[in-house]
Amino acid sequence: MEVPILKQGEFLIAMFQAALSDADLENLRRGLLQQVVRFRSRGVIVDVTAMDVMDSFASRTLREIAHMIRLRGAETVIVGIQPEVAFAMVQLGLTLEGVSTALDLEEGLAYLIEKSKIAD
Amino acid sequence: MSAAEIRVPIESDQDIVSARQAGRTLAIEFGLSGVDATFIATAISELARNILAYARKGEIMLRAIHGSGRRGILVVASDRGPGIRDIQQALRDGFSTSGSLGLGLPGVRRLMDEFEIESRPGRGTTVSVKKWKQ
Amino acid sequence: MAKRESSPKDSGARNNQAPELASSEAPSELLRELVAHLRQNRTQLREEWVGRISETRLLTAMTKEEIFAEATSVYDSYVEALETETFEALQAYARNLSERIIPRGVETHEVVGIVLLLRDVLARSLFAKYQTDFKKLNRILDAYEPAANRIANTVAVGFVQERERVIRQQQEAIRELSTPVLQVRERLLILPIIGVIDPQRARQLTEQLLRGIRTNRAKVVVIDITGVAAMDVTVANHLVQTVEASRLLGATVIVTGLSPEIAQTLVTIGVDLGKMNTVGDLQGGIEQAERLLGYKVMAVAEAR
């Protein structure tokens, strides 16, 4: 399944779809990292608004994405987790600890901009 | 009242998606809320994931059920895999926010209203969970 | 195969057969005979039943026309259940009927009452019809009674279940009204919790709060539990989950009014209070929230 990765200045925006299989998530992880390197992005927004279920594998993948992107000196923020998905996640004990989160694309961009300004 | 049974064979990671989508659809069609449906779909995802990881194949069965005047969804995850040696241990883990290792069974139990598990080493595992319309 | 004495069609023309021959009828034969009798005498029996209903002053919440209309449906469903010996259609009808009459104020004893009255009216008509053949009457009753009782049970249970569903709905509505999520400033939500929280209410609070964060685009939430006397481990876990889930939506949670007892409970379940944002009272919590929100704005200005 193709996941659109958009470039917004120094940042990348990846819109995760619903119904991503494990294989899709793996491909995404690799693809995203490639793009970060290619464009020397300073930050990545992963928009999961469309994901109606976030299970342990998805959660682990997101944490790995954030970790790898940080190794490249860039920041990741996850946006768009739906209220009921968030509720289900914490019941399973998935808290995305160590990964930045924001409400939506707008908030995510604001966060990345602020972070990169502080870093400069 | 006879209710249709939906059986989803679990043999690949794509099947995990199919199973949880079927669960969500069934829940919504049967009148459960969006939150209930998300909880059910998430639980199915974890249970199906366990099947793949430990038994390589199995089945998720879904059924709309009635009980005490309420509607609910029954999910039965079964496999003929190696089974769980120590069920008590698998069910422990308390409320700590680990969620990364093991079978995630305490989490599934928290998501659903009723939880039953049967497992014997060498014979396989069956997890039955129910969620009632709140 | 038992010898048949007579077919249902000629139940009107009964021969004077010796009792020994009559004993060979199968129960389903008898039921068919019974159903035919009930159908033939439908108008009269139904009238009698409606009469008994008003005599005993049941269904006072409904008009005569309504009672008559419902009585017709109930009568027909009753006979159909007897005939088919299946109860799904009756169950569905009972739920349907209940949905209609509960808002009218009809109560359980009334529904049970009218079904039992129908049972009696029909039984009496059987007595009248077979009074000359005591053995036959007994066999007909043997066939009738279990089915009639099951019907009464099905209707009563269907009604009660529908009532319980309505009550649950009402309780839910009350709970929703009594737990407001307040927006006091932009991007700031306050959730004051008062009283006893059971796991169900806790779950509902979490749902409402998370939805509120999304709708109001809140960045900070102040959960005030000054008014909560005690919290068991389950609910305490719920509080922790609420804080964690809020963070997933990009919101910071400040908990205010934490009593020493509840603080202890949280520590018991393994919460690192140092990591949780807590402030003594609501006012202090709001001040800190404003600082958090204001601080963000200042930082961007300074960095320029």
Contacts A22 to B, Cβ<8 Å: 13, 16
Architecture label for domain C20-172: Orthogonal Bundle (1.10)
Give the residue range(s) of CATH 1.10.490.70 domains in chain C: 20-172
Q: Which of B78-92, C18-32, C244-258 shows the lowest per-residue confidence on average (mean pLDDT)?
A: C18-32
**Min CA distance, B105 vs chain C (Å)?**
17
Q: pLDDT tens-digit profile of C161-219?
A: 888 888 888 877 776 666 678 887 789 999 988 877 888 888 989 999 999 999 999 99
Q: pLDDT tens-digit profile of A48-103?
A: 999 999 999 999 999 999 999 999 999 999 999 999 999 999 999 999 999 999 99
In which band, very low, low, confident or very high, does the pLDDT at B93 lie, cut at 50, 70 and 90? Answer: low
CATH label of the domain that carries residue B49: 3.30.565.10
Predicted local confidence at residue C14, as pLDDT: 45
Contact flag B96-C207 (C-beta cutoff 8 Å): no
Choose among A84, A91, A101: nearest Cβ to C241: A91
Predicted local confidence at residue C177, as pLDDT: 65
Residue numbers of the domain that contains A52: 5-119
CATH class of the domain at C182-303: alpha beta
Which residues between 45 and 64 in chain A have a beta carbon less than 8 angstroms from any beta carbon of chain C? none
**Which residue in chain A is spatially nearest to B33 when comparing CA positions?**
A84
Cα separation, A45 vs A12, whole angstroms: 6
Predicted local confidence at residue B3, as pLDDT: 60
Complex-level ipTM: 0.95
Give the residue range(s) of CATH 3.30.750.24 domains in chain C: 182-303
Mean pLDDT, all residues of chain B? 89
Choose among B69, B94, B96: nearest Cβ to C164: B69
Q: Provide mean pLDDT across the span C132-157.
A: 90
Among C3, C51, C1, smallest CA distance to C24 is for C3
Domain total in chain A: 1
Contact flag A101-C241 (C-beta cutoff 8 Å): no
Choose among C160, C165, C269: nearest Cβ to B95: C269
Per-residue pLDDT for C15 more than 90?
no
CATH label of the domain that carries residue A64: 3.30.750.24
Residue numbers of the domain that contains B28: 5-132
Cα separation, B22 vs C93, whole angstroms: 29
Q: Provide mean pLDDT across the span B108-121.
A: 94
Domain total in chain B: 1
